[in-house]
Amino acid sequence: MSNPLRQFPLVLTTVATLIVSAACAGTSDRTAGPAPGPSASGLPTASPTPGGSPDPAAQAAELVARLGDEDLVGQVLMPYAYGDSATRVSSGSAAGNRKLAGVDTPAEMIARYRLGGLILVGFSADDPTGSNQPTTNVDSPEQVRKLTGGLQEAAGKLTAGAVPMLVGIDQEFGVVTRISDGVTNLPSAMALGAAGEPPLTEKAWRAAGGELAALGVNVDFAPSADVLSEDRSTVIGSRSYGSDPKAAGAQVGAAVRGLQGAGVAATLKHFPGHGQTAADSHKGLPVVRQDQKKLRANALPPFSAGIDAGAWLVMSGHLDVQAVDPGVPATFSRKLLIDLLRGELGFTGVLVTDAMNMAAVTDQPTGKAVVRAINAGNDLVLMPPNVTEAYDGLLAALRDGSLSRDRLVEAVTRVLTLKFRLAGRTAPELDTLNSQEHQEAARQVAAAAVTVLRGDCTAAPVAGPVTVTSSGGRDRTRELLTEALTRAGVKVVPSGGTVVHLVGYGDGVGDLRGDATVTVGMDTPYLLGRARSKVLLATYSSTAASMTALAEVLAGRAKPTGRSPVPVSGLPRSTCTAR
Res 232: pLDDT: 73
Strand pairing report for 117-120 and 498-503: unpaired
- Domain presence at residue 266: yes
- Domain presence at residue 79: yes
Q: Per residue in 427-460, pLDDT tens?
A: 899 999 999 999 999 999 999 999 999 998 877 7
| CA proximity to 112, closest of 146, 81, 66 | 81
In this structure, the answer to whether residues 372 and 324 fall within a common structural domain is yes
Cβ-based burial of 318 (10 A; exposed 0-12, middle 13-18, buried ≥19) = buried
SS3 (DSSP) at 93:
helix
- Identify whether 282 is a catalytic site residue: yes
Across the chain, what does the average pLDDT equal?
89
Q: Per residue in 136-147, pLDDT tens?
A: 999 999 999 999
- pLDDT over 60 (residue 54): yes
Omega of the bond prior to 270 within 30 degrees of 0, cis? yes
- Domain presence at residue 181: yes
In this structure, the answer to whether residues 282 and 248 fall within a common structural domain is yes
In this structure, the answer to whether residues 457 and 427 fall within a common structural domain is no
Q: Which residue range forms the structural domain that includes residue 149?
A: 15-432
The mean-pLDDT minimum among 31-45, 75-89, 346-360 falls in: 31-45
In this structure, the answer to whether residues 252 and 289 fall within a common structural domain is yes
| CA proximity to 439, closest of 546, 307, 351, 337 | 546
- pLDDT over 60 (residue 264): yes
- Domain presence at residue 560: no
In this structure, the answer to whether residues 378 and 477 fall within a common structural domain is no
Q: Of the residues 282, 318, 438, 501, which is catalytic? A: 282
Q: What total number of domains does the chain contain?
A: 2
Max alpha carbon distance in the chain (Å)? 83
In this structure, the answer to whether residues 101 and 63 fall within a common structural domain is yes
pTM for the structure as a whole: 0.90
Q: Per residue in 83-101, pLDDT tens?
A: 999 999 999 999 999 999 9
| CA proximity to 356, closest of 343, 339, 334, 373 | 373
Helix (H) or strand (E) holding 120: strand 117-120
- pLDDT over 60 (residue 249): yes
**pLDDT mean over 176-181:** 93
Strand pairing report for 166-169 and 117-120: parallel
Query: Is residue 491 within 8 Å of residue 459, measured between CB atoms?
Result: no
How far apart (Å, rounded) are the C-alpha atoms in residues 190 and 123? 19
In this structure, the answer to whether residues 237 and 110 fall within a common structural domain is yes
- Domain presence at residue 43: yes
How far apart (Å, rounded) are the C-alpha atoms in residues 200 and 446? 10
Percent of the chain that is helix, strand, coil (3-state, to 5): 40, 10, 45
SS3 (DSSP) at 118:
strand
Confidence band, pLDDT 50/70/90 cuts, at residue 425: confident
Res 26: pLDDT: 38
- Domain presence at residue 399: yes
Percentage, residues of the chain above pLDDT 90: 80
Confidence band, pLDDT 50/70/90 cuts, at residue 123: confident
In this structure, the answer to whether residues 184 and 264 fall within a common structural domain is yes
In this structure, the answer to whether residues 518 and 418 fall within a common structural domain is no
**pLDDT mean over 1-19:** 34
Q: What is the 3-state secondary structure (H, E, C) of 30-91?
A: CCCCCCCCECCCCCECCCECCCCCECHHHHHHHHHCCCCHHHHHHHCEECCCCCCCCCCCCH
In this structure, the answer to whether residues 461 and 419 fall within a common structural domain is no
Domain with residue 497: its CATH number is: 3.40.50
The number of residues making up the chain comes to: 579
- Domain presence at residue 576: no
How far apart (Å, rounded) are the C-alpha atoms in residues 444 and 203? 10
Strand pairing report for 176-177 and 171-173: antiparallel
- Identify whether 318 is a catalytic site residue: no
- pLDDT over 60 (residue 32): no
Exposure b/e, 502-535, CB count within 10 A at least 16 = b? bbbbbbeeebbbeebbbbbbbbbbbbbbebebeb
Q: Of the residues 84, 170, 320, 354, which is catalytic? A: 354
Res 375: pLDDT: 98
- pLDDT over 70 (residue 279): no
- pLDDT over 60 (residue 4): no
- pLDDT over 70 (residue 47): no
What lies within 8 Å, CB to CB, of 195 at 6+ separation is 201, 445, 448, 449, 562
- Domain presence at residue 564: no
Q: Give the ranges where 76-197 is alpha helix by DSSP (H).
A: 91-101, 106-113, 141-155, 189-195
Res 3: pLDDT: 37
Domain with residue 411: its CATH number is: 3.20.20.300
In this structure, the answer to whether residues 146 and 178 fall within a common structural domain is yes
In this structure, the answer to whether residues 372 and 491 fall within a common structural domain is no
**pLDDT mean over 336-340:** 97
Res 458: pLDDT: 76
How far apart (Å, rounded) are the C-alpha atoms in residues 144 and 83? 11
Percentage, residues of the chain above pLDDT 70: 89
Res 280: pLDDT: 56
- pLDDT over 80 (residue 355): yes
- pLDDT over 70 (residue 29): no
